[in-house]
């Protein structure tokens, strides 16, 4: 919640907005600013135009059958119970969505450093959000493809319409921002969490390929300047 509640100061935000969506410039500023200044009030409370959903869950990232290579196993799909009627009433009004995924990793035992992509962390997790025009089945297929792309070393995708994009995937706390119309947000009603490789998978002789990974997913929607109550219908 500390990371999720953090906001950039007006001066920081002005410099980020001045990048006009250029991901490289935004990433350079985020390396400097982090996620901004934590706000204890936002961490503890929701308001009528500021709704937060918290999910705590777990999955088994990998599995191994016999002597075969360990493979990706679980993916979790979380439906977001947005107040669609209230969001539809806002129509083209601009709203904000923020998602933060956090989890712990086990560092590679005996590894002083890392030269390969997945050598240090036991596993990684990623999140992707359903688009307004996708069905749930189409979204699930896209997540499965994203997981395969990560495993094969293909350039990651899926963050083009988010502020940070796939830059958010560094580390084990991933936070990003989307803004658009309330009507669009009403249909972005699912987030998927899926695993990517790590030494649990790559070093089967350590027998951690069937370990379980816990995570927290926090999602907030905000309708700044709106008098429509998006909190009470879900409280």
Let me know whether 223 and 212 are in one domain: yes
Do residue 224 and residue 121 come from a single domain?
Answer: yes
96 shares its domain with 188 = yes
Q: How far apart are CA 225 and CA 235, in angstroms?
A: 20
Same domain, 59 and 41: no
**99 and 194 co-located in one domain:** yes
Give the structural domain span for 176. Answer: 47-234
Same domain, 4 and 57: no
User: How high is the pLDDT of residue 39?
Assistant: 81
Task: Please tell me whether residues 23 and 116 are part of one structural domain.
Answer: no
Give Cβ neighbours of residue 18 (< 8 Å, ≥ 6 apart).
none
Domain count, the chain: 2
The answer for residues whose C-beta is within 8 angstroms of residue 234's C-beta and 6 or more apart is 51, 53, 81, 82, 83
* pLDDT per residue of the chain (235 residues) written in tens, 0 to 9: 788 889 899 999 999 999 988 989 999 999 999 999 988 776 666 655 578 889 999 999 888 887 778 788 889 999 988 888 888 888 888 889 999 999 999 887 765 555 555 568 888 999 999 999 999 999 999 988 888 887 776 666 666 689 998 889 888 999 999 999 988 988 999 999 999 888 888 888 888 888 899 999 999 988 776 666 565 555 5
Are residues 127 and 170 both part of a single domain? yes
CA pair distance 62, 74, nearest whole angstrom? 7
Element (H, E) at 136: helix 136-151
Residue (of 55, 60, 63, 103) closest to 80 by Cα position? 55
How much is the pLDDT for 230? 60
pLDDT of residue 149: 80
141 and 57 in a common domain: yes
Q: Indicate if 56 and 157 belong to the same structural domain.
A: yes
User: Do residues 145 and 175 both lie within one domain?
Assistant: yes
Q: Assess whether 108 and 19 both reside in one domain.
A: no
3-state DSSP call for residue 215?
Answer: strand
């Amino acid at each position: 919640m500390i990371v999720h509640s953090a906001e950039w100061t007006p001066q920081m935000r002005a410099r980020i907005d001045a990048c006009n969506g250029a991901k490289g410039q935004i990433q350079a500023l985020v390396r400097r600013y982090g996620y901004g200044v934590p706000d204890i009030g936002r961490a503890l409370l929701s308001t009528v135009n500021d709704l937060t959903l918290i999910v705590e869950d777990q999955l088994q990232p990998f599995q191994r059958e016999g002597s075969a290579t360990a493979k990706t196993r679980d993916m979790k799909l979380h439906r977001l119970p947005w107040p669609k009627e209230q969001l539809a009433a806002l129509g083209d009004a601009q709203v904000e969505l923020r998602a933060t995924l956090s989890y712990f990793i086990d560092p590679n035992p005996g590894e002083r450093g890392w030269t390969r992509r997945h050598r240090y962390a036991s596993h990684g997790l990623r999140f992707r959000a359903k688009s307004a025009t996708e069905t749930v089945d189409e979204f699930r297929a896209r997540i499965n493809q994203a997981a395969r792309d990560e495993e094969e070393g293909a350039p990651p995708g899926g963050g083009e319409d988010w502020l940070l994009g796939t830059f958010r995937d560094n580390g084990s706390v991933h936070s990003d921002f989307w803004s658009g119309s309330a009507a669009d947000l009403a249909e972005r009603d699912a987030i998927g969490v899926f695993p990517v490789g790590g030494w649990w998978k790559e070093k089967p002789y350590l027998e951690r390929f069937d370990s379980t990974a816990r995570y927290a997913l926090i999602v907030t929607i905000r309708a700044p300047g709106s008098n429509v109550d998006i909190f009470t219908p879900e409280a």
